[in-house]
Structure 1
C-alpha cells in the first residue's frame, strides 16, 4: 500500500528555497482555461536541462505545496513534470490528487517497479500525461494504459507524424494536448486534427487588423478612463457611468470583489468613486476592457488572466523595490495590464497610446521595454516563457537586487489575486 501521508522528516529534506516558477496556461477547444503546466527551475542554472531540473522537482513541488498549490492553479488542473525518481518518492502527500496531472517524458525507463508505482498512483486518483511523443514505440505502448493525456510538441513534430499519431491516440480514448502552439494558424490546424487542449501563447500574440474600431462598450470604458485620469468632477464621472447600464452594473460587481479589499459593501456609483479613488477606479476600468469581450461570448479568459497577473505582479514588484514612492506601484500595474492591449484590440500599441493618455515612463516601457517599468515587464514576460527565456531571469533579478525566493512569493500572490478577479469579472 502506498503511503500518501506527509512526512515531516521528508518535508525538511525536500525544502528548497531557490527556484523559479513558471505557469503556462492550457486551454480547451473553446479557448477557455483548462489547466496550467507548472515549470519549476532551480536557480541559478544555465540553459534549461530537463534531466537536472527533474532531479530537483520533488523539492520544489514540496515547497510550492507548502506555499499553497491552490494559489498557483486556482480552479484549474496543474500539470507537473516528474521522473522515475520522483514517482518512486514519497512526495505525493503534498499534492491534491484531484487537481494534479503528473507529466512524464516518453523516454523515461518504464521498469516493472515504476509501472507498479504508476498503477498505484492512478488507483489513488492521480492522472498521468505522456510528453514529447514522437512515435508509437514499444515504450509508449507499455506506458499508454496508465496515461490519460498525450502531449505533442508542435514546434518539433512534423505534420505527417501528427496526422498519423493523433487519430491513433484518440482511438485509444486519450486526451490530446498540443504544446508550443504559437500562432492562430497552428491552433486552427490542431483543432482540425482533433486535439482537445492547447498550450502556448498564441492567444497573447497581437493580430493587427487595419482600420479595426473598438466596440461601443469598449469605447465607453475608454472615455470613462479619460475622465478618471483628467480633472473631471466626481459627479461628471458618475453621470458618465450611469449612461451605460451594463457598465455601471459590471463596475459595481467588480469593486465588491475580495481583491479590492473594501471594508464595506459598495452599493452605489458615488460610493465607488469616493471610496476607491481615481487610481483604483482606473484599475478596475482597465480590467473591464479585458472582461468585456467574454460577456459577448468570446472566450478572452486567458488574456484577462494573463493581463491581471502581469499587472498585479508588476505592482507587487514595484512596491517591494521602491516602497517609499507612493505612485510607482499604480504605474507598474498600468504597464502590466496595458501590455496586452494591442492583442485585446487588434490595434498597434502606438495607436492605443494615442487614445489612452500615459506618461513618458509608461510609454517607454510599453513601446520599447525601457526604464524601470520596462525591466519589470521584461521579467514578467521571461517568467511566462521560462523554457525559452530562462537565461534572462538571473541577470534581471540581479539588476533589481531581488532574490528568487522573493520573486516566487510575489508570483504566488499575483496568481491568487488574478484568480479572484477573474471569477468576479466574468
Structure 2
C-alpha cells in the first residue's frame, strides 16, 4: 500500500509556525491510515511515522492529525506523543458515546482535541466541552457564521482556528475577530499594494550568482567575492558544517567550501541566501516552502532521468514564491533576476517544458493527490517515488533553515 504524506503549516497571530497538519492519502481519505489486521499496513506505518519520528516530520512542531471514528475508538492516537499531538476529530464523525468516551480519555492523557470543519448541532455539545481548538472552514462558512463562532467561543476560552484562509484580507478579518490560529495559503500570496523592489544591499548576492553562471567561472575569483561579504562567508561555512552533511572533518575555508559544493551547489546555496535575505520580514514558512519546492522539483528531475537539468528545476522551485516575498508581480520581478528565459516564462504563467514539474510539486505540497498523481504520470514518474522525494526535501529545508541561512 502506498501512503502519501504532506504537511500544511498552521500559523499564530504573529504569522509564526504553531504546528503542521499532516495530510495523508492511502487511496481513500486525508486521515491517518487504518491499521486494522493488516501486517503490510502496520509495517508501512511503523517505517513511515514511528521509525523516523513524528518530530522529524514536523520539524519539532506540534502535529495536527485527522482521525476517523474507528481510529478514535481503537485508541490509535495513543501511539503518538501527547505533548506534540493534536487529535483532529473529522467533521463526519458522529459524536456518540464511544467517540465521546475516547476523546475524554485522550484529553485526560494530555492530548489536545480539535474539531475539524466545525458545524454546530446540539449533539456536538459534549465534544465542544472536551475540545480545546475549533476549526472553522472559511471557504464553507458564511461571514455570519464566522462572526457567530467568534462571539460564542472566544469568550468561553476555546481557541479558534481559521482554515482555508486563502487571502491576506481573510487573514486580517479572522485576526480582528479574535481567531488564534490560521491555516491556508494566504502567506504565499503577494500583497501587491507594497510592490517592494530588491534592496540594493542584496544586489551584491545577485552579482556573485551571476559570476558563478559565467562560462569562464573561476574558483579564485568567486572566493574573493564571497570573502568580501562576512555574512555570506559565515553562512556558507555554517551550512556545510550542519548536521545534514554529517562531515567527519570541519570545513574551515571558503575555497574548500566552493570546491566541495561545486558550481551548481554554490549557485543553489547563493540563491537560498538571496531569498533568505529579502524575505526577512515575511513568515519563516515562506522561505522554507520555497526551499522544499526547490528540492522537490530537483528530486523529480533526477528521478525522471535528468531530461531537464535538475539544478534548473531547483531554481524554478526556489523562486516560485518570489512574488509573495517581494509583494510585487512576477512579471516585474523577472525583469531584474538573472534567471534563464524558460524559468522566467514558467513563473509568469506560460506553459513550458518545466511547467509540469512545478505543477506536480505544488499539488503534492497542497495534498491535491489526484492532480499530483496525474502530473506524475505525465512525467513518467512512478508515484511511489514521491513520498521519499518529499521527505528528503523537508529534511533539507529544515536543516538549511536551522543552519541560519
Offset at 1:407?
Answer: 0.9
Q: Cα deviations across residues 76-118 of structure 1 (Å, max 9, x unaligned)? A: 1111111211101253454233222111134522222221111
**Residue number in structure 1 paired with 2:257:** 272
CA RMSD of aligned residues (A): 2.6
Kindly indicate whether structure 1 or structure 2 has the higher relative contact order, using CA contacts under 8 Å at least 6 residues apart: 1
Offset at 1:385?
Answer: 2.5
Residue 120 of structure 1: SS of its match in structure 2?
helix
Q: Is the 8 A contact 2:30 2:66 kept in 1?
A: no
Residue 79 of structure 1: SS of its match in structure 2?
strand
**Residue number in structure 2 paired with 1:304:** 287
Q: Is the 8 A contact 1:311 1:337 kept in 2?
A: yes
Distance 1:316 1:340 in 2: 19
Distance 1:352 1:53, change over 3 A: closer
Distance 1:194 1:349 in 2: 33
The equivalent position to 1:250 in structure 2, one of 235, 238, 241, is 235
Residue 24 of structure 1: SS of its match in structure 2?
strand
The equivalent position to 1:118 in structure 2, one of 95, 103, 120, is 103
TM-score, structure 2 normalization: 0.88
**Residue number in structure 2 paired with 1:357:** 338
**Residue number in structure 2 paired with 1:152:** 136
Q: Is the 8 A contact 1:134 1:161 kept in 2?
A: no
Distance 1:54 1:271, change over 3 A: closer
Matched, 1:415 2:381: no
Greater helix share, structure number: 1
Q: Cα deviations across residues 30-89 of structure 1 (Å, max 9, x unaligned)? A: 11111111121233x6xxxxxx55594556866641463333211111111112111012
Residue 18 of structure 2: SS of its match in structure 1?
strand
Matched, 1:198 2:182: yes
Moved >6 Å (runs of 4+): none
Distance 1:229 1:151 in 2: 48
Q: How does 1:96-135 map to 2 (within 5 A)?
A: 96-135=81-120
Q: Is the 8 A contact 2:32 2:65 kept in 1?
A: no
Distance 1:128 1:310, change over 3 A: same
Q: Is the 8 A contact 1:290 1:303 kept in 2?
A: no
The equivalent position to 1:30 in structure 2, one of 10, 14, 17, is 14
5+ unaligned residues in a row in structure 1: which ranges?
Answer: 1-16, 46-51
Q: Is the 8 A contact 2:71 2:77 kept in 1?
A: no
Q: Is the 8 A contact 1:37 1:80 kept in 2?
A: yes
The equivalent position to 2:365 in structure 1, one of 384, 407, 420, is 384
Distance 1:56 1:273, change over 3 A: closer
Matched, 1:399 2:382: no
Q: Is the 8 A contact 2:361 2:372 kept in 1?
A: no
Q: Is the 8 A contact 2:165 2:186 kept in 1?
A: yes
Distance 1:139 1:219 in 2: 60
Deviates more, 1:230-239 or 1:158-167: 230-239
**Residue number in structure 1 paired with 2:304:** 321
Residue 206 of structure 1: SS of its match in structure 2?
coil
Q: Is the 8 A contact 1:20 1:404 kept in 2?
A: no
Offset at 1:185?
Answer: 1.0
Distance 2:381 2:11 in 1: 32
Q: Cα deviations across residues 205-254 of structure 1 (Å, max 9, x unaligned)? A: 13335763212332222222112212343333233333333333233323
Distance 2:160 2:75 in 1: 29
Distance 1:264 1:305, change over 3 A: same
Distance 1:212 1:113, change over 3 A: closer
**Residue number in structure 2 paired with 1:11:** none
Deviates more, 1:328-337 or 1:258-267: 258-267
**Residue number in structure 2 paired with 1:347:** 328
Q: Is the 8 A contact 2:32 2:66 kept in 1?
A: no
Distance 1:358 1:348, change over 3 A: same
Deviates more, 1:69-78 or 1:193-202: 69-78
Distance 1:247 1:411 in 2: 28
5+ unaligned residues in a row in structure 2: which ranges?
Answer: 36-40
**Residue number in structure 1 paired with 2:38:** none
Offset at 1:154?
Answer: 1.2
TM-score, structure 1 normalization: 0.84
Distance 1:352 1:192, change over 3 A: same
